[in-house]
């Protein structure tokens, strides 16, 4: 589960490491739950906690455009656009074969 760049060493070169603080909080919260969440909604709520728009930082352009939870067991995806976590009209659910 992530809404961050996962490329190896991506955050190592940036002087201010934009986004690393959000990633660290996400990892901390997941560790508290032994990396096991009850469902996709709980996972999306966690992504909402670290969304860019309301995160206290100096980056005025920081916004989370897409948040997606992939359930690899069920082969489904839960997608929320533009940080509309509490607005069902912006929630999309997909099933894959």
Classified as helix, coil or strand, 69 is: strand
In this structure, what token pair is assigned to residue 62? 């920081």
**Does residue 8 lie in a domain region?**
no
Domain contains 9: no
* Whether pTM exceeds 0.85: no
Q: Which residues of 30-68 are buried (b: 16+ CB within 10 A; e: fewer)?
A: beeeeeebeebeebbebbbebbbeebeeeeeeeebeebb
pLDDT digits (tens, 9 = 90+) for 22-69: 888 889 999 999 999 999 999 999 988 888 777 776 666 677 888 999
Look at the chain and report how many structural domains it folds into: 1
The answer to the question of residue 7 being in a domain is: no
Domain assignment of residue 88, yes or no: yes
**How much is the mean pLDDT over the chain?**
84
Rounded Cα distance between 22 and 53, Å, is: 12
User: Is 3 within the bounds of a domain?
Assistant: no
Residue 67's domain comprises 14-95
Within a domain: residue 4? no
């Amino acid at each position: 589960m992530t809404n961050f760049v996962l490329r190896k060493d991506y955050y190592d070169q940036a002087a201010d490491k934009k986004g690393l603080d959000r990633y660290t909080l996400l990892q901390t919260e997941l560790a508290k739950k032994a990396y096991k969440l009850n469902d996709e909604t709980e996972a999306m709520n966690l992504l909402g906690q670290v969304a860019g728009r309301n995160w206290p930082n100096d980056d005025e352009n920081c916004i989370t455009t897409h948040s997606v939870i992939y359930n690899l067991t069920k082969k489904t995806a839960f997608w929320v656009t533009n940080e509309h976590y509490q607005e069902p009209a912006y929630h999309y659910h997909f099933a894959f074969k």
